[in-house]
């Protein structure tokens, strides 16, 4: 059994907390641990360090190994980002070479999970479903509100305790449809966590994504860890960028199962969703020890230990780093990537 943590990330959407040198997986959740560290903690509840591999970009090697090496966890690197299908197939080929046709569980790094034991149980159930019923076992999250930001899984009949058949995948809906799904128990948010045999996911990859699978398969077996980045650099630029969900999971012919999970789950998509999971005081403020909020409520201050003081402000986020300062009314994260992209073009960032 091997756990694969996919630690890609968006730089601009989390500016100024993230940067090209420290993207989303390496920003803290206000509890002294990064998204990557929290994901490692979750998978360590069911696997040993030698059964875990982190996949991320080669430019994040140093910051990654500062986290993984002391724990005895291996890391695998890609020369550039090509979305989750390419990195999942790469990781699966690597696992096949190292461990044969074992079972894998893939976890995106950008999740916040409130109840660890509930999520752990769902992971174990999905793993057993994948092994016992020779398919792909996924984790679906019970909806808590209508959301247009998540894909949905429509569950069918229960075929084992805590396991249902996947009837359909639903793309991110409009608010009307999302409101309908939120009222129906058979619809769940797609967490992006799945388990299956390595051979099964590679068989589906060879059939559905030959433009990704064939160039990567042609590099294996890799001669040595030192050679693989150079080898990947020759084929990676030409790989299509597509998600594992759209490329494989939503089109797979193999049996698909979903494990409903009631855990509080948040996909950390932007600074607003990051703010939603941070600890708050009685006035809904999140304030570091060396900062102050005066005559304000629902204020979040993010950054290093540089003192920040707000007076008479409410419903705002102040995020700062050596890259710059962001002062934003809550709920406006959707604009960050575009605005920061314009600042980059101007040479300000």
Domain boundaries, the chain: 2-268, 272-345
Cis amide bond preceding 16, omega within 30: yes
Q: How many residues does the chain have?
A: 349
Query: 14 vs 10, 25, 156, 217, 348, CA distance in Å?
Result: 7, 11, 37, 34, 16
CATH topology of domain 2-268: Spore Coat Polysaccharide Biosynthesis Protein SpsA; Chain A (3.90.550)
Are 25 and 8 in contact by the 8 Å Cβ rule? The answer is yes
Q: Name residues of the chain where pLDDT drops below 70.
A: 9-11, 29-31, 223-226
> For residue 91, what pLDDT is reported?
96
pLDDT score for 299: 98
Residue 225 is predicted with a pLDDT of 62
Structure tokens at 188: 């769940």
Give the tokens for residue 221. 């077996």
Round to whole Å and give the CA distance between 125 and 162.
Answer: 7
Cβ-based neighbours of 216, under 8 Å, separated by 6 or more: 86, 89, 90, 93, 232, 235, 239
The structure tokens 């042609």 sit at 218
CA nearest 73: which of 48, 98, 91?
48
8-state DSSP, 249: I
Chain position carrying tokens 């096949």: 96
Q: Residue 27's pLDDT is what?
A: 83
What pLDDT does 223 receive? 64
Token pair, residue 230, equals 């150079």
pTM, two decimals, is 0.92
Contact predicate 172/150, CB 8 Å: yes
Q: What is the dihedral of CA 39, 41, 46, 49, to 10 degrees?
A: 100
Distance between CA atoms of residues 338 and 333, nearest Å: 10
Predicted local distance difference test score (pLDDT) of residue 241: 95
């Amino acid at each position: 059994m091997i756990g694969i943590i996919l630690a890609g990330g968006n730089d601009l959407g989390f500016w100024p907390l993230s940067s090209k040198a420290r993207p989303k997986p390496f920003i803290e959740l206000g509890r002294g641990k990064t998204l990557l560290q929290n994901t490692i903690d979750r998978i360590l509840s069911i696997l040993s360090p030698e059964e875990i591999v982190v996949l991320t970009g080669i430019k994040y090697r140093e910051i990654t190994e500062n986290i993984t090496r002391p724990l005895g966890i291996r890391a695998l690197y890609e020369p550039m980002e090509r979305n989750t299908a390419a990195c999942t197939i790469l990781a699966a080929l690597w696992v096949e070479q190292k461990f044969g046709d074992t079972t894998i569980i893939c976890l995106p790094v950008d999740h916040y999970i409130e109840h660890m034991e509930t999520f752990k149980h769902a992971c174990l159930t999905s793993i057993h479903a994948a092994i016992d019923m020779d398919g792909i076992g996924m984790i679906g999250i019970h909806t808590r509100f209508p959301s247009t930001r998540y894909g949905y899984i429509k569950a069918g009949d229960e075929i084992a305790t805590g396991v249902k058949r996947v009837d359909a995948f639903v793309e991110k809906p409009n608010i009307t449809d999302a409101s309908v799904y939120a009222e129906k128990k058979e619809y769940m948010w797609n967490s992006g966590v799945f388990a299956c045999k390595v051979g099964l996911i590679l068989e589906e990859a060879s059939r559905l994504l030959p433009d990704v699978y064939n160039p990567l398969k042609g590099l294996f077996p890799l001669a040595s860890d030192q050679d693989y980045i150079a080898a990947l650099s020759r084929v990676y630029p030409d790989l299509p960028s597509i998600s594992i969900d759209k490329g494989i999971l939503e089109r797979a012919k193999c049996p698909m199962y979903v494990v409903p999970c009631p855990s509080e789950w948040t996909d950390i998509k932007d600074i607003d969703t990051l703010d939603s999971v941070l600890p708050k005081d009685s006035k809904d403020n999140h304030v570091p020890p060396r900062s102050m909020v005066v005559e304000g409520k629902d204020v979040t201050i993010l950054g290093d230990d540089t003192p920040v003081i707000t007076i008479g402000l409410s419903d705002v986020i102040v995020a700062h780093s050596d890259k710059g300062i962001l002062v934003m009314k809550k709920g406006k994260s959707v604009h960050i990537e575009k605005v920061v992209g314009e600042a980059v073009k101007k040479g300000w960032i």
